[in-house]
Amino acid sequence: MSTVRVRKVGLVGWGAIGRIVGGALAVGEVGGAELVCVVDNRPLGDTAPAPQVTFEEALERCDLIVEAAGQGVVREWGERVLASGTDLLVASTGALTDEDLAKRLHAAGPGRVYFTGGAVGGLDLLQAARSMGPLDDVRLTTTKLPSTLEQPWMDAELLDRMRTATGPVVVMSGTARDVPVRFPKSTNVAASVALAVGDLDTVRVRVVADPSAHHTRHVVEASGAHGSYRFEVAHLPDLGNPATSQAVPYAVLRSLAALAGRTGQIL
């Protein structure tokens, strides 16, 4: 009689994403996946439903690490996780705008690296379309509340325009190579679209601040010789961390369910 494998999950980050993912795992909402530890650089006390351990301890206890703590974790620990034989599920796809890091992660092992689509849909179809031939025009427009987009590099004039805006203000235009670096907590979607398309420079990105953006909005438009595609999503921001959409932790949970072998999944 065959034994069902249970994925032993270590969760890195106990913030807006990690708390929901960890809570769902702790009560058994993802069959075939068990939360065995949490890694965070803050003392969590009794707030986490699993022991808080160091990253090194997590690698010893787990066969799957879920990153929910930001791009820095992927840069610092991604290769080491994979080299230990542990699989890695990345939520902060913006780290992959560093092409050298992306190549190293894909080449590392024996652990396997996976990425969650996060706050945007249609990436599976873009990947399929890319197999038919290049997508030569890909555009992403992300619209968020101005306060969630403020960055240390912004000058006084831009900050003033954002803070006094009565309508949409284009904060930055560029490619999926440049934008996630400038907005490390707000534009992982740009990197996710680029992962699906297979080219950071093909994806043109506009970041828009809008004081009436009670929903975070992402519009993806792509076309090639074989067809054209348009996806639009509008999410409520997380109440505790408005830079993150409420849907993101549930996208992580869906990815976890697929990795744990849940039947009936759309892959």
Is 218 a known active-site residue?
yes
Question: Could you give the CA distance from residue 147 to residue 163 in angstroms, rounded to a whole number?
Answer: 8
Bridge partners, residue 67, by sequence: 12, 90
Question: Could you give the CA distance from residue 69 to residue 202 in angstroms, rounded to a whole number?
Answer: 27
Do 126 and 193 touch, CB atoms closer than 8 A? yes
The active-site residue out of 106, 215, 218, 226 is 218
Cα–Cα distance list, 173 to 16, 83, 141, 259, 266 (Å): 27, 37, 9, 35, 33
Question: Could you give the CA distance from residue 230 to residue 43 in angstroms, rounded to a whole number?
Answer: 43
**Active-site residue set:** 218
